[in-house]
Structure 1
């Protein structure tokens, strides 16, 4: 059938918000227990509830955790590693009360820990002493900062909680040696973030279960250690960026030995706990994943010869790697495939998809493939991004028309964008709107030096790279320079607001729970990020002037283009008062502005109705600002001052 001629933005698409929310789930943590495989599923259709699912050896799949339990921890606010499986019994953090529960087969979950303002995460099982070792975050004293420790917890209700390690600001990755005699863990202190500098420690477990003879193995203020793991034969492995790239190392008899020497990242920024990029198939074989130039690869590493051998998969984004004899299970995705739990047979190379994020199949004629681009940015440097041109085989644009562009600035800001299939990107491209997903300076995946470009320069380098990317595409003739927009969430929302306030490249923008007041962020945010800005901006309040100079809320007189704001009203990372102050200022100035708040949402939207509403409202907003007709009816959003 001959394509219909229609303006960019006006194309009808099968990639709807209903498809994205009702039939799409989030896939997260993986655990192996004998022949059974467990994973977590975030379900927008169940008000954002996370469930643990089990696949048995005979391929039967079933939910393990019943309604209304929600498997999610709030340690560091971002959580991660919220459940542990031991011989068919699941131990998990419940989101509502943050207590640790025990779920035996055929029984209702039973709380192990008492009711208190205490959170638990990053579990490991101490079989010898019949206890769980984990990270604990104590919020019981409201007047002080939360206290983080490593503790042990018995397996029954009201069991003793024993403090094992304390005294530092943060802890992560407690890992027990195979014989149960030694414990390894990571720790760091303010103002460092885990990707700045961490320390790897090891201690010996005494007869009473306490720790003794502790020693620092690696790390420091300027070395980031990631994912310590004991091999089956009792050797300690870890990932370090001591050469400028996160590579794999081994500690044995007091000596540290490098196993990979590549300009590649085998680790990543530890926003969530217990992120896994490698696992032991045996004592002599590690299955690992690493990234180069924005793509992830799976490989087999011989721990004796140090030979790295590629393992073929169809995926360009790989995470949550777990292995057992002869197999590896991981989360994989690609530009044409949504995230999936996949199992690779290491003997014959066969790949089996255990669970996909969606059962929806989209015709390739509606999918825009990412085009990796490098482009010049400020100070003669190079920035990286993925460009998605509009794609819908049912339509072509009128001759001579160029598409609008949405520049996406990812969160973190120490994070990275992904090349995997994202309906939230295809939603735009299939309607005729181009997308540039930017890995600005400060992003992970390009080495420590690139990551540190943002040190002291947040609100400058990231903005430069987003602006330069948009201008580069205009110069290449790929997009319409009069219809450039920028959109981002959290830290990406800050980049968005800075670009709209301090530059004149973009004609509109969308801020999802974005930072507008750096001083308020420094004063109000949670412990994990409370000193993050020391590195990104400078010490507060000593360098208060810089905070004021880079806060968009102080310069609304310079903001002359329309913005739509989305905000969760229970957000502790970026409290609603920041967004509301920005909206009030724009309202008073007479600049077109829309505000869409969501009750019950925190930092990032998890409920289907709110994900649907925010995307549709953003599209509606652009249609009004750029005067294009919508192919489908959308509930209007109130745009003041338009």
Structure 2
């Protein structure tokens, strides 16, 4: 029988080390012959990404430390590896090593260490590579076709991106001139080239500032000459008001694409010479999402002409689509969120999926039998699942009657219950992006709080993906308004209905969620405190030269053009509104963050100085945008709990008390 204890003070077997060890998810699953490969996080190994191999007999091995398979193109990276099976010598793999961003070749069945294929450049951020595709029959020794990001100066926006060919014989390892550029510089941003089945055409996606890829992209097709270069590049689909985040050739030479031309990312088929795209399964659901990384995959055609596709509204599932009839059959299983990575091996489809009771794992569907099974990174309950939260998917009403989507995680602990008449504290989580989404999945960081008696509400505020283009567009020029209002509306509704203690509400978030947290603390009186993680705090600085190229013009759609509305940038920035700040806060920042640099935090703290607001600032060397090291995550989550304990008035002797200075 559960005993009574104040909310927030409950003992829990989910400690910070356990939560940190389960952070991250497998990514970039791909077939190499009969084998399956993917990347996995290693928080205990300084946050590196391991490249994992699963052979036909089910044995898994990995490329050991120090190899860290992760690209920095557009800073968020993307598909970092490719492979091909060979009749002799076993598979050949190419991958990007994070530390130097060079492409390496690797023969896992050989005795040789991985060897570099590309040179190092001392200019700016150097040479970077992403979305590789192996073409062993191209050129004298075979080639890797991929996206090249090349810095031309020291500023983060002084760079160019093209599709390039890297020779597999290593001749470019010390010679930049040995890298052949295949595509014209039509766009500032490009994805890797998809080659048609007959080898005569290449297709890719491109877009330009100030558009983000969820605003508008173009599908470009070019003819491949005898020397492999691309000629006659032309736009077949897309435009400034149409987002196409993925394309794929079919066996008969048509293009499949995900497009939001109808208001939702749906699947279409397009003739190789253009024409009107044909909708394959028109629904008010999303069959894709925002292209935050280069080479994300939401659908794959099967050999029999059917299409494996992720889709859903809010949550996602895997279905098999008949493009001729529009029939879509979903798989059975508990999974509510599928990562944007799919690969096909004959009749089998492999993806990465999670549920409210299981973390992300590698799932295989055999389309011939309809059976599914877990074949990699299997979820294992490190503690009794009775300590996991039970989420409730809800739709709240915001200003003007608009819908707000959220997942609410009430406190849950089999051994404890709160005292009669005591409402639990709640923390509103604002996701990053902001053009992104909080998935309905098991997150041990959420469970860390809920098992201690603190509720969590994840808000998919206006601007989030998963609910159509109109829902995304609510945030146009309204960042710092709609997101703040929607989070406050959810917090207020939970308090008004008697779910949450109105005096013990907090808000937290990272990156764009850090912005929403800081904007909420300086723009509302809803919250008693907040945790601000690697945030944007000064729009004017961030919108000029304080961030990376990919998002350097993002604010034009989120806030408006700086030259036209400079006062809006100033008025909305938390750094200029610290006179309205009354709530204690915790600020967490990676020292090597190129996206939201520490200068943003330092400027905010200078503005707070002397105002008597209790706060703490924790910085972490070696961390960039998004914490990856176990020791960092442990300190961050325990510091956050200490903040809540001090502000909400409960005891936590199991964590070091965070020093709040004024």
Deviations 1:109-150 (A, max 9, x none): 100001111100011223441211111111142256221111
Superposed displacement of residue 309, structure 1: 1.6
CA displacement 1:8-60 (0-9 Å, x = unmatched): 00111111111123466531111101110001011101000111110000111
Output the CA distance in 2 between the equivalents of 1:311 and 1:580.
49
- 1:363, distance to aligned residue in structure 2 (A): 2.1
Does 2:182 match 1:164? yes
Give the whole-Å Cα distance in 1 for the aligned partners of 2:20 and 2:577.
Answer: 37
SS of equivalent residue, structure 1 residue 26? coil
SS of the aligned residue for 1:186 comes to strand
The correspondence for 1:314, drawn from 293, 315, 334, is: 334
Match of 1:379 among 374, 387, 400: 400
Q: Which residue of 2 aligns with 1:518?
A: 539
Q: CA deviation at 1:176?
A: 1.2
| Separation in structure 1 between the aligned mates of residue 514 and residue 372 of structure 2, nearest angstrom | 38
Quick check: 1:113 aligned with 2:125? no
Any stretches of 5+ residues in structure 1 without a counterpart? none
User: Quick check: 1:220 aligned with 2:239?
Assistant: yes
Partner of residue 601, structure 1: 623
Whether 1:615 aligns to 2:637 is yes
- Indicate which of 88, 91, 95 corresponds to 2:94: 91
**Residues 493 and 514, structure 1, Cα contact 8 Å, conserved in 2:** yes
| Correspondence for 2:209 among 190, 195, 206 | 190
Paired residues in the alignment total: 637
8 Å contact kept, 1:3–1:394: yes
Kindly state the Cα deviation for residue 218 of structure 1 after the two structures are TM-superposed. Answer: 0.3
Structure 1 distance, partners of 2:216, 2:534, is: 28
Residue 65 (structure 2) aligns with: 67
Name segments (4+ residues, structure 1) moved above 3 Å: 22-25, 357-362
Distance in structure 2 (CA, Å) of the matches to 1:209 and 1:273: 22
How far does the alpha carbon of each residue in 1:428-451 deviate from its partner, in whole angstroms, 9 at most, with x for none?
111100111000000000000000
CA contact (8 A) 2:152 2:160 kept: no
Tell me the SS of whatever aligns to 2:182.
strand
1:275 maps to 2:288? no
2:258 aligns with: 239
Residue 358 of structure 1 and its aligned partner are, at CA, apart by 5.0
Return the alpha-carbon distance in structure 2 between the equivalents of residues 365 and 23 of structure 1: 17
Measured in 2, the distance between the counterparts of 1:75 and 1:610 equals: 24
Q: Deviations along 1:84-132, whole A, 9 cap, x unmatched?
A: 1112111011111111100112220100001111100011223441211
Matched position secondary structure for 1:282 = coil
Q: Does 1:421 align with 2:434?
A: no
- Which is further off, 607-616 or 375-384? 375-384
CA deviations 1:145-200 (Å, max 9, x no partner) are: 22111111111212421112214211114211122211000000100000000000
Kindly provide the CA deviation profile for residues 522-574 of structure 1, in whole angstroms up to 9, marking residues without a partner as x.
Answer: 12110000000000001123321110000011111100010000000011101
Larger mean Cα displacement after TM superposition, 193-202 or 536-545:
536-545
- CA 1:128 to 1:89, structure 2 compared with 1: closer, same or farther past 3 Å? closer
Q: Partner of 1:374: helix, strand, or coil? A: strand
Larger CA deviation: 399-408 vs 172-181: 172-181
In 1, Cα distance between the equivalents of 2:372 and 2:330? 15
Q: State the SS of the aligned residue for 2:474.
A: helix
1:582-641 Cα distance to aligned partner (Å, 9 max, x none)? 2233232110011111011000100000001100010011101111012x5212222103
CA distance in 2, matches of 1:349, 1:562: 53
In the alignment, is residue 549 of structure 1 matched against residue 571 of structure 2?
Answer: yes
Match among 490, 498, 502 for residue 477 of structure 1: 498
User: Cα offset for 1:333?
Assistant: 0.5
**Among residues 284, 302, 307, which one is paired with 1:286 in the alignment?**
307
TM-score by length of 2: 0.94
Does structure 1 conserve the Cα–Cα contact (< 8 Å) formed by 2:22 and 2:444?
A: no
Q: For residues 85 and 234 of structure 1, what CA distance do their matches in structure 2 show?
A: 23
Q: Name the structure 2 match of 1:125.
A: 134
- CA–CA separation in structure 2 for the residues paired with 1:23 and 1:473: 29
Q: CA deviation at 1:424?
A: 1.1
**Aligned mates of 1:23, 1:367 — CA distance in 2:** 14
Matched, 1:564 2:586: yes
Corresponding residue for residue 153 of structure 2 = 141
Aligned to 2:357: 336
Residue 358 of structure 2 contacts residue 379 of structure 2 at CA under 8 Å; is this kept in 1? no
Measured on the aligned residues, the alpha-carbon RMSD in Å equals: 1.4
> Measured at CA, do residues 426 and 522 of structure 1 come closer, stay the same or move farther in structure 2, by a change above 3 Å?
same
Deviation at 1:379, TM superposition (A): 2.1
- Superposed counterparts of 1:523-538, under 5 Å: 523=544, 524-538=546-560
Aligned to 2:321: 301
TM-score (norm 1): 0.97
Mapped partners of 2:143, 2:75: distance in 1 = 25
Q: Mind listing any 5+ residue stretches in structure 2 that lack a counterpart?
A: 86-90, 173-177
2-side partners of 1:25 and 1:56: how far apart?
23
Q: Is this contact kept in 2: 1:586–1:592, CA < 8 A?
A: no
Tell me the residue number matched to 2:200: 181
Residue matched to 1:592: 614
Q: Distance in 1 between matches of 2:297 and 2:327?
A: 21
Match of 1:249 among 268, 275, 295: 268
Per the alignment, residue 574 of structure 1 pairs with 596
Q: Which residue of 2 aligns with 1:465?
A: 486
**Preserved contact between residue 34 and residue 345 of structure 2 (Cα < 8 Å):** no
Whether 1:153 and 2:163 are equivalent positions in the alignment is: no
Question: Does the 8 Å contact 1:571/1:602 carry over to 2?
Answer: yes
Q: Name the structure 1 match of 2:367.
A: 346
Residue number in structure 2 paired with 1:636:
657
1:371-418 Cα deviation digits (max 9, x unpaired)? 111111112211110011100010011100000010000000000001
Asked if 2 retains the 8 angstrom alpha-carbon contact of 1:26 and 1:43, the reply is no
Q: Is the 8 A contact 2:145 2:192 kept in 1?
A: no
